[in-house]
């Protein structure tokens, strides 16, 4: 009882910070909390909702949290269903009411993962790989390849040439620059990615940066917050969102002349390390439950699938027209989408 009042006063004096971001907001708070004694002592992180889960009906709660916060850290949420947190709107509001707003980049990067798309089975329970789905593995299944042959396909099927791969890297960096200009971000990401794309894989999956990446941007945020005791070395044990991670295919590593070492045989699936071949068997077993027709229906509209299917059919030793799942109507649909779209 004796220590209750001072503790309450300490809580009242703490600065309140709100992250309007995707899952990276949790990572920012975690890195700052572990890397800085003053942040852990003096800052309170308010409850929020991750950008990908926001609904229009969440507006009253988030607006109330914005009013309560001393500092708001926001990514450029151009497509959020709440107009008050769009970049220009939240900037105008912060200026008007005198709130400190720090605009940080949404760290999204998939230049090294062509052929892998956001998972297409969100409405189906027990999907074994939460982060994404690889079209070469799906094509291998549809063509009746073995897990071993599909693992070889994953690494050896050259879906894009060297120039196309470089264009994807350039496109990813230009996308950062575009968002930085449109949103007026206070922290710049494009320069970091331009400097490090050849020496680091940078991301586990599109929206899940490696700890080294989050460590850099957490340090940049600490500066903006006026935190002077942030020590990146103290955050060395943080693993980040590594729970689902595919290896970089050899054809991409060789095509881009990447300089970092990578384990080509290991998949991280639900925070467990397994071989690529074993992972493919797990995917094939799950696909078997769904059935080939349903797998084909789910993946056929994805742009990398056509190239993946061509490579898988060649490895299977039969023309695409003879493969079980490649019906003429599907080929026509794929051709139509391919002509209308750029590389994903």
Structure confidence at residue 90 (pLDDT): 98
The residue among 336, 310, 335, 333 whose CA lies nearest residue 323 is 310
158 within some domain: yes
Mean pLDDT, rounded, for 319-343:
42
Q: State whether 159 and 265 are in the same domain.
A: yes
Q: State whether 153 and 265 are in the same domain.
A: yes
pLDDT in tens, 238-280: 999 889 999 999 999 999 999 999 899 999 999 999 999 999 9
Q: State whether 131 and 99 are in the same domain.
A: no
178 within some domain: no
Distance CA 286, CA 264 (A): 23
Q: State whether 49 and 75 are in the same domain.
A: yes
Residue numbers of the domain that contains 54: 4-103+210-235
Structure confidence at residue 228 (pLDDT): 97
Q: State whether 217 and 264 are in the same domain.
A: no
Provide the mean pLDDT of the chain: 90
Q: State whether 265 and 159 are in the same domain.
A: yes
264 within some domain: yes
223 within some domain: yes
Residue 110 parent element (H or E) = none
Mean pLDDT, rounded, for 35-60:
97
Q: State whether 95 and 133 are in the same domain.
A: no
Distance CA 236, CA 118 (A): 29
Q: pTM of the predicted model, to two decimals?
A: 0.87
The residue among 88, 72, 65, 59 whose CA lies nearest residue 25 is 72
Is residue 10 classed exposed, middle or buried when 0-12, 13-18 and 19+ CB atoms within 10 A define those classes? exposed
Q: Is the pLDDT of residue 194 over 50?
A: yes
78 vs 342: which has the higher pLDDT = 78
Structure confidence at residue 324 (pLDDT): 46
Q: State whether 79 and 154 are in the same domain.
A: no
Is residue 319 classed exposed, middle or buried when 0-12, 13-18 and 19+ CB atoms within 10 A define those classes? exposed
pLDDT in tens, 288-314: 999 999 999 999 999 999 999 999 998
Q: State whether 299 and 321 are in the same domain.
A: yes
125 within some domain: yes
**CATH code of the domain in which 16 resides:** 3.40.50.12080
The residue among 111, 113, 110, 116 whose CA lies nearest residue 283 is 116
90 within some domain: yes
Residue 336: pLDDT band with limits 50, 70, 90: very low
pLDDT in tens, 107-142: 999 999 999 998 899 899 999 998 689 999 999 999
Percentage with pLDDT > 70 across the chain:
88
Q: State whether 231 and 255 are in the same domain.
A: no
90-94, 220-224, 298-302, 313-317: lowest mean pLDDT where?
313-317
Residue 333: pLDDT band with limits 50, 70, 90: very low
Domains held by the chain: number: 2
Residue 7: pLDDT band with limits 50, 70, 90: low
47 within some domain: yes
Q: State whether 150 and 262 are in the same domain.
A: yes
Q: State whether 124 and 98 are in the same domain.
A: no
Task: Give the end of a domain, one of 177, 202, 235.
Answer: 235
Q: Is the pLDDT of residue 344 over 50?
A: no
242 within some domain: no
Q: Is the pLDDT of residue 323 over 80?
A: no
């Amino acid at each position: 009882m004796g220590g209750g009042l001072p503790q309450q006063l300490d809580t009242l004096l703490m600065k309140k910070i709100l992250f309007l971001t995707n899952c990276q907001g949790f990572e920012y708070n975690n890195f700052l909390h572990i890397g800085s004694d003053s942040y852990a002592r003096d800052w309170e992180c308010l409850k929020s909702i991750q950008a990908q889960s926001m609904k229009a009906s969440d507006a009253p709660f988030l607006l109330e949290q914005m009013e309560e916060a001393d500092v708001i850290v926001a990514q450029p949420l151009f497509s959020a269903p709440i107009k008050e947190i769009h970049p220009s709107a939240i900037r105008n509001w912060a200026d008007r009411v005198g709130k400190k707003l720090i605009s940080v980049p949404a760290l999204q990067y998939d230049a090294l993962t062509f052929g892998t798309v956001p998972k297409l089975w969100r409405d189906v329970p027990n999907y074994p790989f939460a982060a994404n789905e690889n079209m070469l593995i799906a094509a291998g299944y549809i063509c009746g390849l073995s897990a071993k042959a599909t693992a070889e396909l994953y690494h050896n099927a050259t879906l894009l040439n060297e120039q196309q791969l470089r264009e994807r890297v350039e496109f990813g960096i230009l996308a950062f620059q575009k968002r930085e200009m449109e949103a007026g971000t206070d922290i710049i990401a494009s320069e970091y990615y331009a400097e490090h794309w050849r020496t680091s894989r940078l991301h586990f999956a599109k929206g899940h940066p490696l700890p080294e990446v989050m460590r850099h941007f957490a340090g940049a945020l600490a500066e903006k917050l006026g935190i002077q005791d942030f020590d990146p070395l103290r955050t060395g044990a943080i693993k980040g969102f590594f729970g689902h991670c595919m290896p970089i295919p050899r054809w991409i590593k060789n095509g881009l002349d990447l300089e970092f070492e990578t384990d080509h045989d290991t998949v991280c699936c639900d925070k467990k390390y397994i071989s690529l071949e074993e992972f493919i068997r797990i995917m094939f077993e799950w696909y078997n439950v769904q059935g080939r027709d349903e797998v084909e229906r789910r993946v056929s509209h994805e742009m990398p699938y056509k190239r993946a299917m061509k490579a898988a059919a060649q490895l299977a030793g039969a023309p695409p027209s003879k493969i079980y799942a490649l019906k003429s109507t599907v080929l026509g649909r794929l051709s139509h989408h391919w002509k209308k779209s750029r590389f994903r």
